[in-house]
Amino acid sequence: MISVLLTAIFFSFFASAVLLNYKIGRLLNLSFASIFTLGAYLYFFNPTAAALLALISGCAVGAVVSTATRKLSIAEASIVSLGFAIAIEEFLRILYRTSYFLVMESSYVEIIGEAVSVHEITNGAVLALLFLIFTAIHLSRRELKFVEDDWELAEMYGVDTSRIRLLTISISSGFICLSGAILAPTQSVFPSMGWSSTVTAVIIASIAASAGNAGVKKYLLTLPVAIAYTAILRWLF
Amino acid sequence: MVVLKGDFAVILAILLLPLFIRDSFVVSTATLAVIYSILSLSWFFMEKEAGWNSLAHSIPFGIAAYAIAINPALIIPAFSLSILLFTAISFFGRDKFVFTSFIIAIVLWYLSHYITLSLNGKVTGGEEGFSFQSIGLWESYLLSSSVLLIFFTSFLLLRRTGLGLKIEAVRDDEIAARSIGIHAFKVRIVSFTISVFAATVAGICYLLYFGHVSPEIFSIEVALLPFVASLIAGNRWISPIIGCYIIVIVSRAFSGILPETHLLIYAAVLILSPKLRRWWNASTH
Amino acid sequence: MLQLIDVSKVYSGNVVLRGINFRLESGFAGIYGPNGSGKSTMLKIIAGIEKPDCGRIFFEGEDITGKSPEKVARMGISIVHQIPRPFRNMSVIENVATSFLMRKSYREAMELALEICEFIGLRNKMNLKAGLLSQGELRLLEIGRALATQPKLMLLDEPFSGLDVENAKRVIRILKKIKREGVNAIVTAHRMKLLRDVADVSYQMRGGRIAEG
């Protein structure tokens, strides 16, 4: 159960990042697949500095994606983000050609008779905290709600939508990359490992988006949807 | 008309060239390029004529190959399933069609690793896939080339028929089309059927050539190939074919130095796709 | 020929049509009224593009309430939209020929489309892509495309809107030609003055209600 909950927290965060990028960034950010993988490879490269490296690298990639997709439609921007995903994946594949699947060690603790990875607990705690901070920011800053509801109108009323978009995409990419670095020891690391998480996040985000256009409800809904999804998958497989 | 004759001549020249060179490496490269060209043409028809941009033509392509490999009698249900899938996704609307189809293509890619068959206590399939009798290199090339020519000609002729006009009308404005008596949904199904049929035939050619099919047939690479191939070479019916040849030749040429170089082309084309699209549209007009 | 009985339509709590009772036996009927009076909604409901919330619509004795637009078109009702909806990537002649495909083969449709292009005065632009036409020409194309369905009843939703005097006169000339051919029509406009030259009888629409003008 603990493991299911921790996995659900991860998927909930990932889905919220997807939703945020869609509503404010105005793109389906498929580069998350490879940004997550990049974080995992950074842990393999340097476990000590991985967290900081991942945060900086993720933010940098996010900023590049944001700039490249600035004046594009949702469909065009999403396809460009897919291009970045493939570019990063290929870069990693070329760099780490010596071995395809990388496995790193993790340590486990027993909680209520269940062996849980320390990295999963760390990841869950970090993401849960980030989620709370994000919820607080979203509730206190009306510009986010305004931009989510009507981008064009927000621009006309003087909201700096470009800055909000840049910050949203960069910061969410940074945290996705950080998540990849923290979780690296819990899975086998290979260039296309991020796609399964991304697809899961997109599906959860699509279901949660039915909660409404603006406001924090849809982000909160990602958690119960993620719990249900993870529990069903665990039961099936 | 002159342009179309020119395109036809170029395709004939490209297809006849390996017959004169007679080198196995050249013919095998050409066969793969031709098979992918058929797949890309099927995608191009759905995008250009019917107005549905999909990133999931790997689905009918792969399902057909798997169906024949497991049991040839499964080809009709496989074909029907592909049409049903595209029809179901189309209810999300044209804007969401492209990414919904892409997500489903990836999901199928993951699920295909679990397709296994138990025969006489022996389990086949899974990550290793299924084997089938290959028809040989030259036979594959001749078959695929003939199929490509037939589909290329058919798609061009279709545009000058009543059905072609209806498909284009529904693409441009569904409400206006319905207002003049066109059954837009029926036309949509017919468009999907034509496109899926071509992709299915491409999948069968793929299996007959390689004699093997694995989950990699559903990979992102195959799903994106038609889109990338079309963007490389322009807005004409010959463009997906030229694009496929470029991708396959580059991939084969650099495979010794840098495996899967073509994926770097994919990345570059996708990142530049908005500019490429505008450039090709401008040059057409 | 056409009868509307107690037709009403509500959009998000806003009543757009209030119990409309309307009858057209033959000829050209004009409906005028301000913006938001329900003129376009009424035509869209007849054409099957929108569904009424209550009431019935009869065309030549048959109940067409809630029928799909393509079924209504095949029964002989065609609509000319307020904002032209051409098939932008097709040529003018192909736009018109598409309407003939209900009853004719491709070749026949293209031949007949040529005649329609002549009728509406777009023969010299018949091979031009519809997306490159001017506003007035698009309106003429819409009329030509609707005519090509060989309708018994044409619905023209503000055919003069957005046109300059010259183009408006062109449209009036075409409508008079159509009238002489024996086609029945309902034409809507903002002001009665615009309908004077074409309508046999006029109705005023205001606040979702209709009355003889």
Q: Classify residue B264: in a domain, yes or no.
A: no
For residue C42, which amino acid is it? M
Q: Choose the mutation target among A82, A101, A192 for the interface with B, i.e. most B CBs under 10 Å.
A: A82
Domain boundaries, given as residue ranges, for chain A: 2-236
Q: Which of residues 78-97 of A touch B (CB under 8 A)?
A: 78-80, 82-84, 86-87, 89-90, 93-94
Q: What is the pLDDT of residue A33?
A: 95
Range in A79-88, B53-62, B100-109, C10-19 with the lowest mean pLDDT: C10-19
pLDDT in tens, A185-194: 888 888 889 9
User: Would the pLDDT of C213 be above 70?
Assistant: no
Cβ–Cβ gap C101/B182 under 8 Å: yes
pLDDT at A209: 86
C101 and B CB contact within 8 Å: yes
For residue range B48-96, what is the model confidence (pLDDT) as tens digits? 999 999 999 999 999 999 999 999 999 999 999 999 999 999 999 988 8
Q: Among A104-108, A162-166, B44-48, C42-46, where is mean pLDDT lowest?
A: A104-108
Q: Is B174 on the interface with C (CB under 8 A)?
A: no
| Residue C145 distance to chain B (closest CA, Å) | 8
From the list B110, B263, B274, which residue is nearest A80 (CB)?
B274
d(CA C47, CA C78): 7
Alpha-carbon distance of B223 to B110, in angstroms, equals 13
Q: What letter does residue C103 receive in the DSSP assignment?
A: T
Cβ-nearest to B179 among C79, C88, C97: C79
Report which DSSP code applies to C83: S
Looking at the complex, does the CB of residue C195 fall below 8 Å from at least one CB of chain B? no
Which residue is closest to A81 within chain B, CA to CA? B271
Q: Domains in chain B: how many in total?
A: 1
Angle at A188 between CA A127 and CA A96, to 5 degrees: 105
ipTM: 0.90
- CB within 8 Å: B273 and A68: no
* Integer Cα distance of A126 and A179 in angstroms: 9
pLDDT at B233: 85
CB C178 within 8 A of CB C150: no
Q: Do B274 and A72 touch (CB under 8 A)?
A: yes
Are the CB atoms for A180 and A14 separated by under 8 Å? no
Q: Which residues pair with C50 in a beta bridge?
A: none
Is the pLDDT confidence value at B3 over 70?
A: no
- Compute and round to an integer the Cα radius of gyration of chain C: 17
Q: Is the pLDDT of residue A99 over 60?
A: no
In a domain, B74, yes or no: yes
Which are the contacts of C170, defined by CB distance < 8 A and separation ≥ 6? C121, C136, C140
The 10s digit of each residue's pLDDT in C164-197 is: 888 888 888 888 888 888 889 999 988 777 788 8
Give residue for tokens 């994106």. Answer: B224
Indicate the DSSP class of residue C128.
S
User: H/E/C letters for each residue in chain B?
Assistant: CHHHHHHHHHHHHHHHHHHHHCCHHHHHHHHHHHHHHHHHHHHHHHHHHCCCCCCCCHHHHHHHHHHHHHCHHHHHHHHHHHHHHHHHHHCCCHHHHHHHHHHHHHHHHHHHHHCEEEECCEEEECCCCEECCCCCHHHHHHHHHHHHHHHHHHHHHHCCCHHHHHHHHHHHCHHHHHHCCCCHHHHHHHHHHHHHHHHHHHHHHHHHHHCEECHHHHCHHHHHHHHHHHHHHCCCCCHHHHHHHHHHHHHHHCCCCCCCCHHHHHHHHHHHHHHHHHHHHHHHC
Give the pLDDT score at A68. Answer: 95
Cβ–Cβ below 8 Å for C88 and B172: yes
Question: φ and ψ at B44, to 5 degrees?
Answer: -60, -40
Mean pLDDT across B220-243: 91
pLDDT in tens, A119-135: 878 888 888 888 888 87
Rounded distance between C-alpha atoms, residue A125 and residue C130, angstroms: 59
Q: What is the pLDDT of residue A45?
A: 86
* Shortest Cα distance, chain A CAs vs residue B257, angstroms: 11
Task: Please tell me if residue B258 touches chain A, with a CB cutoff of 8 Å.
Answer: yes
Neighbours of chain B (3+ CB pairs under 8 A): A, C
- Structure token digits, residue A60: 């940098």
Stated pTM of the model: 0.89
Residue B244 is assigned to a structural domain of this protein? no
> What confidence category does residue A217 fall into, taking pLDDT thresholds of 50, 70 and 90?
confident
Cβ–Cβ gap B181/C88 under 8 Å? no
| C-alpha triplet B197, B203, B206: angle, nearest 5° | 145
Mean pLDDT of B213-235: 91
The beta-carbon neighbor of B270 closest among A75, A79, A195 is A79
- Considering only the beta carbons, identify the residue of C49, C68, C99 that sits closest to B180: C99
C106 touches chain B (CB under 8 A): yes
- The answer to whether residue B101 scores a pLDDT higher than 70 is yes
Which residues make Cβ contacts (< 8 Å) with residue A204, sequence separation at least 6?
Answer: A11, A12, A14, A15, A222, A225, A226, A229
Question: Closest residue of B to A206, CA-based?
Answer: B100
Query: Residue A199, CB half-sphere, CA atoms under 13 Å: how many?
Result: 18
CB-based burial, A213-227: b 16+ in 10 Å, e otherwise? eeebebbebbbebbb
**Beta strand C184-189 pairing with C28-32:** parallel
Distance from the Cα of B44 to chain C's closest Cα (Å) equals: 16
- pLDDT value at residue A98: 59
- CB of C114 less than 8 A from some CB of B: no
The count of other CB atoms within 10 Å of the CB of residue B47 is 20
Question: Which helix (DSSP H) or strand (DSSP E) does residue A114 occupy?
Answer: strand A114-117
Decide if C86 and B168 are in contact by the 8 Å CB cutoff.
Answer: no
Of the candidates A22, A32, A190, A6, which has an alpha carbon nearest to the alpha carbon of residue A97? A190
Contacts of B258 in chain A (CB under 8 A): 94
CA distance B97 to chain C (A): 21
Q: Is the pLDDT of residue A115 over 80?
A: no
Structure-token pair, residue B179: 């207002």
C152 lies within 8 A of chain B by CB: no
Beta bridge partners of C77: C153
Tell which B residues from 201 to 240 touch C, by Cβ distance under 8 Å: none
Contact C26, C184 (CB under 8 A): yes
Q: Assess contact for C22 and C203: CB atoms under 8 A.
A: yes
User: What are C111-148's pLDDT values in tens digits?
Assistant: 999 999 998 889 999 999 999 999 889 999 999 999 99
Interface test with A, best of B52, B103, B127 (most A CBs within 10 A): B103
The pLDDT of residue A213: 63
A198/chain B closest Cα distance in angstroms: 9
Please, which pLDDT band fits residue A153 given cuts at 50, 70 and 90? Answer: confident
Q: How far is it, in rounded angstroms, from Cα A36 to Cα A197?
A: 9
As a whole number, the mean pLDDT across chain B is 91
For chain C, which domains are there? Answer: 2-86+133-212 (3.40.50.300)
